[in-house]
Copies of this chain bind each other. A is one copy, B any other.
Amino acid sequence: MTPEDLVQIEAVKRLKYAYLRCIDQKDFDALTDLFTEDATAAYSGGKYVYEGRRAIIEFIATNMGREAFHSSHRVHHPEIELDGDTATGRWALEDTVLDTDWNFLLMGAAFYEDRYRLVDGAWRIEHTGYRRSFEFMLPTSALEGFSVTASWWATDGQSTLPVQ
C-alpha cells in the first residue's frame, strides 16, 4: 500500500459516508448519483435483492422515506482493497431505527461486502450487500415513560430537553 493508495481509499470511504448520510437525511436524488447505473444490492443476507440503481433507490425511498422513520446507519472498520479501477470494501454496520408513526425501535448489526468502480474519475457503488449479525425490535409504547425528544423533521433537529 502506498500513500497514493490511501488517497483512493479515502475517496472510497467518502462515497460510503455520503451514501449513508443521504439515506438518513432522505436525500434520494443525491443518493442516486452514488451508484453505477447497473448497480446491484443484496441487503439482509440476500433477502432483499435489487438490480439497477433505479430499483435500489425505489426500495430505499419506499421503505425509509416517511419522515416518521428516523434512522441512524453507521459504518465502521473499513477494510478497502483497491484493484485498479475497482475496489472492494468490508464494513461493520450498526443501525438504529426509531419509527414515531408505528412506535417501534429497531437495532441491528451487520457486515457489508461492497464493490466499487471508478467512473469518469469518481468512485461509485457497483454492488452493496450486508449480512446481519443480529437485529431486534421492540414497541416503544410498551416502554413506560419513553419519550421522543428530538426529530430532524418534527422538531427541526432540536431537542426539547432543557439544559442549564
Contacts and interface: CB of A to CB of B under 8 A. Distances in A.
How many copies are assembled?
3
Interface string A41-73: 000111110000000000100110000001110
A79 B157 contact: no
Interface stretch (A30-38, A118-126, A132-140): A132-140
A154 B133 CA distance: 10
A163 B55 CA distance: 14
Interface in A107-124: 107-111
Given A17-B79, A79-B17, A59 B163 contact: yes
Given A45-B158, A77-B74, A109-B24, A138 B145 contact: yes
A132 B147 contact: no
Contacts of A48: 163
Q: How large is the interface on A (under 10, 10 to 19, 20 to 34, 35 or more residues)?
A: 35 or more
Nearest to A110: B157
Contact of A149 (B11, B105, B137): B137
16 contacts: A6-B10, A17-B79, A45-B159, A46-B157, A71-B133, A72-B94, A75-B76, A75-B77, A136-B140, A136-B146, A136-B147, A136-B148, A137-B146, A137-B149, A137-B161, A142-B144
Given A21-B90, A132-B158, 9 more contacts: A44-B159, A45-B150, A45-B155, A46-B157, A71-B133, A72-B134, A133-B152, A135-B151, A142-B144
In order of increasing CB-CB distance, the 8 nearest A-B pairs are A45-B157, A3-B3, A131-B157, A72-B109, A135-B150, A17-B77, A45-B158, A70-B134
